[in-house]
Structure 1
Amino acid sequence: MKTTLFALAALTATGGALAQSSSVTLFGVVDASVAHVSTKDGSVTGLANGGNASSRLGFRGVEDLGNGLKASFWLEGGINVDDGGSGFKFDRRSTIGLLGNFGEVRLGRDKTPTYQNLETFHAFGDSGMGAINGHNLISSSAAGTIEGSNPKRYSNSISYLLPKMNGFYGQASYAFGEKAKGNSNSLSSSMGVRLGYGNGPLNVALGYGTTKGGTAADTINYKTFNLGASYNFGMLTPMVLIASERGNNQRVDLYSVGVKAPVGPGEVRAAVSWYKDKKRNERDSVRLALGYGYKLSKRTELYATVAHMSNDDNATRKLGTSLAHTVAAGKNATGYELGLRHNF
């Protein structure tokens, strides 16, 4: 009897040790806002999804394999709070990887290295009325590519992330086009790199990427470059972003300056962004955005944003809200939103 009890106790202790060596976390963001967009041709008001941060649901986990080696997975999909959506899939991120002193090797679908700069160095990131909208500056449906001339995410990718080294960080990614050899095995493939330095109040990073489009007989290399920086002075954090996208005899440059500043129990955000089309006339735009986030708790925020997009005669750029609206060539757009975001 004592032997049996001892064996059960040992088994229980072993099971507890194993349980402590791995973990799985359920997480997500729920974000919705009442939004309004108006142009000279009309206006629309409704409920928008992700005005402050993209709504999502995910699972992530880590297992300690010993000797400093860990295995990890991350499954994350977007959700629509406004209408519930028509289906769910892990379209935001689906990765598996190994971590150690060498850094991390990650396989699957993930954000591109260059897109992370667009999110990091803009006061509103890439969500809601003030969103930067700095990806796919040339075309979101570029022929021969999977998700445009400069997508947010790579599918079928393998990435290497540097370990933490005195503030330096970096990532290199390659995404397989997965085309048959007769159609050019590298068509639709992409690659990107990012190198940055974040230490104390300073954060600066450089990104570069290419995406191969066109056809097997006539390929097109879309290239993107960006450079961002921010500095936290305590009372405010100014930030700057420079980006350029080129390919198929087109070029669009993006310049943005912004600031975040703690005010009361929340934060003021402001940004000005210029979109410059270098190959086509009268296709430039300017976006102004101002907002405030009031922190109800560490995980819940009430926010308000107002934004204005000024388009040249041939430009049709829209505001970043998920609220469906169209902008005719040469028309300006003004919008505002009041929303609530909760992280869990």
Structure 2
Amino acid sequence: MPVKKTLIALAALAASGAALAQASVTVYGRMDLGMSSVDTTLGTAPATDAFSLAGEQDRWTGSRLGFRGTEDLGGGLRANFTYEIGINADRSTPAGVSPADNARTRLANLSLAGGFGTFVVGTFMNAFDTARALSPANNTIPGGQFTQWQATAGSERFDGRSQNSFAYVAPAINGFTFSMGGGSEEAGAALKFTGYTLNLNFNRGPLVAQFAFGDLDMDLPVVADMQNWALGVRYNFGPVVASFIYEDSQRDVAGVRTFSANSWEIGARFPMGALAPYITFGQGERNTDDIDGWQIGTTYNLSPRTWVYAAIGEAQRETAAGINVRKESGYAIGLVHTF
């Protein structure tokens, strides 16, 4: 009997090992540290300056630590997961930031993928992020992806990160990929969200294009409806990589239009080996106000996983009469390492 039990145990262990061999987990991360200075002017008030000599974080891309894994379920079916947290790289608890934000969840999702496409549920980056990211500029430095100035994510435009949501991504056909998603969230009787997105992507040769459309019904507790769409296009001409971004959003409360905004941005990147300077410029409208922005910068690759960056820019919002509402100008220099 002991021999038989031992053989059974060894067989079970071998089967378990075979199953584990089909699964893999990867630990990855990114650190972004540097220095920056941003002057902000609100109306006619004196400008305020936010300056960091060293240790400023996330000016180019968010510092993070993540885990991703996949398991082969057989028959061409795979199960995948991603869990990623944002990390505050320069100090444990900066002024005005709760300790919980030092390990905030950026991504947390599960997905099934196969010949039918991919079905994902949880918190994940969506097509709005893809469309906006086709700009070469940095969205945390003044003038970069200034289209975000047209609206505030959450109630006036879609955030680039879907939470408590699901999505289906169809298989690519001749460069085209279609996806759709939705989600619903309720926090008591005073806050309810229900929405959906429809997206179309084209990626073939030198051309990349992303269209994203979203509709969100909100109970704040007043019934409101928000619609947002974005189009991003990038074309690689060789010595120049040109881009165009357009975004439109609007919100109705109890059937009355309370918010409307649109903006466009053109950009160009000039790859020169490890060096890649770029320039962007754009304009738009937020209700009756005018907005515009520009940014000039560059990245320099020290290796496939490490690069330095430097950028300067400005963004401004004015009334139709030319009166300043908000103006930001500044620069950032930093180092990014991925692992």
TM over 0.5: yes
- The answer on whether the counterparts of 1:104 and 1:161 sit within 8 Å (CA) in structure 2 is yes
Match of 1:109 in 2: 123
Q: 1:220 aligns with which of 218, 224, 228?
A: 224
Match of 2:242 in 1: 238
- The answer on whether the counterparts of 2:312 and 2:330 sit within 8 Å (CA) in structure 1 is yes
Q: Which amino acid is the alignment partner of residue 192 of structure 1?
A: T
Residue 103 of structure 1, CA deviation: 0.6
2: CA distance, partners of 1:274 / 1:335: 18
- Where does structure 2 lack aligned partners over 5 or more consecutive residues? 41-45, 94-98
Match of 2:267 in 1: 258
Q: 2:184 aligns with which of 164, 168, 176?
A: 176
Q: How does 1:84-233 map to 2 (within 5 A)?
A: 84-85=92-93, 86-87=99-100, 88-89=102-103, 91-119=105-133, 121-124=134-137, 126-135=139-148, 137-140=150-153, 142=155, 149-178=157-186, 187-215=192-220, 218-233=222-237
Match of 1:332 in 2: 327
SS at 1:117 equivalent: helix
Residue 188 of structure 1, CA deviation: 1.1
| Alpha-carbon displacement from aligned partner over 1:70-99 (angstroms, at most 9, x marks no partner) | 001111111122223423445211101111
- The answer on whether the counterparts of 1:138 and 1:246 sit within 8 Å (CA) in structure 2 is no
In the alignment, structure 1 residue 77 sits paired with structure 2 residue 85: yes
2: CA distance, partners of 1:229 / 1:62: 31
In the alignment, structure 1 residue 29 sits paired with structure 2 residue 30: yes
- The answer on whether the counterparts of 2:316 and 2:327 sit within 8 Å (CA) in structure 1 is yes
Seen in structure 2, the aligned counterparts of structure 1 residues 252 and 226 have a Cα distance that, compared at 3 Å, is: same
Q: TM-score, structure 1 length as denominator?
A: 0.82
Q: 2:51 aligns with which of 45, 56, 65?
A: 45
2: CA distance, partners of 1:134 / 1:220: 22
| Alpha-carbon displacement from aligned partner over 1:287-339 (angstroms, at most 9, x marks no partner) | 11011111110000011011112331489xxxxxxxxxxxx953533201110
| Alpha-carbon displacement from aligned partner over 1:8-31 (angstroms, at most 9, x marks no partner) | 997786565434311101111100
Match of 2:96 in 1: none
1: CA distance, partners of 2:194 / 2:148: 17
2: CA distance, partners of 1:169 / 1:240: 20
Total equivalences in the alignment? 319
- The answer on whether the counterparts of 1:239 and 1:259 sit within 8 Å (CA) in structure 2 is yes
2: CA distance, partners of 1:136 / 1:290: 18
| Alpha-carbon displacement from aligned partner over 1:207-254 (angstroms, at most 9, x marks no partner) | 1001222446x4211100111111111212101011101013211101
Q: 1:298 aligns with which of 295, 300, 304?
A: 304
SS at 2:297 equivalent: strand
- CA-based RMSD of the aligned residues comes to 2.9
SS at 2:186 equivalent: coil
Instruction: Give 1 or 2: higher strand fraction.
Output: 2
Match of 1:64 in 2: 72
2: CA distance, partners of 1:64 / 1:90: 30
SS at 2:271 equivalent: strand
Residue 133 of structure 1, CA deviation: 4.8
Q: TM-score, structure 2 length as denominator?
A: 0.84
Match of 1:273 in 2: 282
Residue 50 of structure 1, CA deviation: 1.4
Residue 286 of structure 1, CA deviation: 1.1
1: CA distance, partners of 2:118 / 2:326: 46
SS at 1:115 equivalent: helix
| Alpha-carbon displacement from aligned partner over 1:27-72 (angstroms, at most 9, x marks no partner) | 1110012001125524231143212211111111000000000001
Q: Which amino acid is the alignment partner of residue 334 of structure 1?
A: S
